[in-house]
Amino acid sequence: MCGVLIAWSPAATLIDGFGQARGLLRLRRCQTYQGFVKARRRLGAGLIARLRAHLATLLSAQQDGWTILGWVVFAVDGSRFDAPRTKANLKDLGVGGCDRGGPQMLTTILVHMGLGVLWNWRVGRAGKCERGGGADERGHMRRLAASVPRGALLVGDAGFIGFEFLRSITAGGREFLIRLASNAELIVELTDRPDVVALWPKSRQRDTLPLWVRVIRLTDDKGREVVLGTSVLDPVRLTDEQAGVFYRMRWGVEVSYRSLKQTMDKRKMLSAAPMQARLELHWTLLGFMLLGVLTTRRLGPGLSRAKWSVAAALRAVRRAGGARTRGRAESELRKLRRAVRTDNTRKSKAAHDWAHKKRQRPPGPPKFRPASDAEHQRLKQLTHAAA
């Protein structure tokens, strides 16, 4: 609880956050922040994993919002969190960016799209000059996929293309829906269905069957074509309209990162040592997940769980922590029943001209090529051998 309260605290320093948490919990042990840090380091990632698994069990028990259009859907994406520019952090955590960047940690998260709550995450070393979903994010995602229920649908952007990665997703009994872009070379005319293509790198054609991908073509709100690929080959089981809904809902994972970095003000960790910086980030993510679980379980009937408000929930728990009486604290926590975002829409969406911000261009179209005679022959041989 002390680690979670520090994650929720608006304090500018970790020592101040620990002092607030210790006062709320009336701790007799862990008299100093240094003692708390040693205890948290001794418990390590094992405690975090057990707590996360327990919160995931509570989420899966929620009936309202658990499924969308008959699917259990998770969105995946990666981002970076900063750390103080100390020698230890620069050496251990890695340097983000291409030009004199500071130490950063690459974080890949899974968000349950029906509830809008963090489900699982991985934290790793930030590589240099990585753009979009790189190999590290795919490696993270391969491990994260095992934590979602079998039959679930994983939705990702164009960076999550990759034969071995996507094959591991389907081999584990999960499905994927990703955007196809210029980083994907797909083979057509290997089947009788024009909407089904093959992801089959030449290096694996000798001993492995292709990965079949159904192509779905949609149009975004600006009239541009968006090409999606899914492992669900049956268009009745996953319609094109459903795929469009799920891909648009993928924006919820971006909202989660914005809530973490702006609403909770956790864009940069405060720990000067790399191990403590990683643990601080893990406990920040755990606190964010717990905040979502508390709120979605308490929301009143008729309110969309996916629209729970991080700002309103955070305000409620902070005020409850600062209440002088138990009755006042419970009164503040009851506000979680109405902690949802409003539907206010801005008339203009003009972007600020930030000096450090580069505009993201839409990914290019995927590359389609016809199958060669040798690939037709090899497919027949592998299919016959598998039968």
> What ranges do the domains of the chain cover?
45-303
Confidence of residue 45 (pLDDT cuts 50, 70, 90): confident
| Whether residue 353 has pLDDT greater than 80 | no
pLDDT value of position 127: 65
Asked if the 45-303 domain carries CATH number 3.90.350, the reply is: yes
Confidence of residue 363 (pLDDT cuts 50, 70, 90): confident
pLDDT value of position 29: 73
Q: Any residues with CB less than 8 A from the CB of 368 and at least 6 apart, and which? A: 186, 187, 188, 197
Which token pair is 147? Answer: 């934590």
Residue 348, SS3 per DSSP: coil
Phi, psi of 20 (to 5 degrees): -65, -45
Structure confidence by residue, pLDDT tens digits, 191-243 = 999 999 999 999 898 899 999 999 999 988 888 899 999 999 999 999 999 99
**pTM reported for the whole predicted model:** 0.90
Q: What is the mean pLDDT of the chain?
A: 89
What mean pLDDT do residues 55-60 have? 96
pLDDT value of position 133: 43
